[in-house]
Amino acid sequence: GAVVSQHPSWVICKSGTSVKIECRSLDFQATTMFWYRQFPKQSLMLMATSNEGSKATYEQGVEKDKFLINHASLTLSTLTVTSAHPEDSSFYICSAAKDRGGETQYFGPGTRLLVL
Amino acid sequence: EDKVVQSPLSLVVHEGDTVTLNCSYEVTNFRSLLWYKQEKKAPTFLFMLTSSGIEKKSGRLSSILDKKELFSILNITATQTGDSAVYLCAVSTQTDKLIFGTGTRLQVFP
């Protein structure tokens, strides 16, 4: 149990376009979902925390107008990178938790974004 | 500012060697420390440590936490090529966040 999927796995887009990444909890209801970004050879950096039906809480330095997060249901959260630029190229990983998170986060397989 | 620091950044060993990975932290509202293994995709969970001095073991892997000195170690004995990965240390806080360390890249050669 506790499987999290992400779609797509890989996306290549042109600069200036928007990209949507989906994160789904397949066999449980996720009260909380987290979005992380990982640059090459660096660690995971938390971008935002989202709770179903409410606005996401963004970490310091993360632009909420650029990284739109929607947690529309207990099994789905989406991250939209708006007007993507090459510096947004990164590995985006979501995690989902049945409760408030912390230790009990289940990670998705990640989405690799390349902006040309 | 909360931080988690891992050392070394990178390690190259031969199969059969034993390795020790280090993780030190300065985190307010500490709740637990976790170790993950990451092989090109999402991290997979290895251990969660909450109490000092109690070793957790899983096969050739073991880990221990020292809450007084604020560090943890992850030991891997008799390494195999399949152990090659990035090992991440993360601290869970009372505010339900995970703060990740920089990671240690381990390469095991035959």
Compute the distance between CA of residue B13 and CA of residue B16 in angstroms, rounded to an integer: 8
pLDDT, tens only, B15-32: 999 999 999 999 988 999
* pLDDT greater than 80 at residue A47: yes
> Predicted confidence band at A81 (pLDDT cuts at 50, 70, 90)?
very high
Q: Is the pLDDT assigned to residue A100 strictly greater than 80?
A: no
B32 in contact with A, Cβ within 8 Å? yes
Whether B98 sits inside 8 A of A45 (CB atoms) is: no
Q: Tell me whether B42 touches chain A (CB under 8 Å).
A: yes
Q: What is the percent of chain B with per-residue pLDDT over 70, rounded to a whole number?
A: 100
Residues A56 and A71 sit within 8 Å (Cβ to Cβ): yes
Any B CB within 8 A of A100 CB: yes
Amino acid identity of residue A115, one-letter, is: V
Below-50 pLDDT ranges, chain B: none
Q: How many CB atoms lie within 10 A of CB B70?
A: 16
DSSP label at residue A86: G
Residue labelled with tokens 């993507």: A84
What are the chain A neighbours of B44 within 8 Å (beta carbons)? 107
> Is residue B104 a contact partner of residue B8, using CB atoms and an 8 Å limit?
yes
**CA–CA gap between residue A31 and residue B93 (Å, rounded):** 18
**Residues of chain A contacting residue B88, judged by C-beta atoms under 8 Å apart:** 43-44
Whether A45 and chain B come into contact, CB under 8 Å, resolves to: yes
3-state secondary structure of A89: coil
Q: Report the pLDDT value the prediction gives residue B96, as an integer from 0 to 100.
A: 85
Q: Do A43 and B88 touch (CB under 8 A)?
A: yes
**CA-wise closest residue to B90 among B7, B41, B25:** B25
Cα torsion through A86, A90, A93, A94, rounded to 10: -20
3-state secondary structure of A88: helix
Instruction: Specify the pLDDT at position A2.
Output: 83
Q: Which two tokens stand for residue A84?
A: 């993507």
Which tops the pLDDT comparison, A40 or A87?
Answer: A87
Confidence of residue A43 (pLDDT cuts 50, 70, 90): confident
CB B33 within 8 A of CB B72: yes
Question: A2 at the B interface (CB within 8 A)?
Answer: no
- The chain A residue lying nearest B9, using CA atoms, is A41
In angstroms, the CA A52 to CA A64 distance is 17
Q: Tell me how long chain A is.
A: 116
Does the pLDDT at position A109 exceed 90?
yes
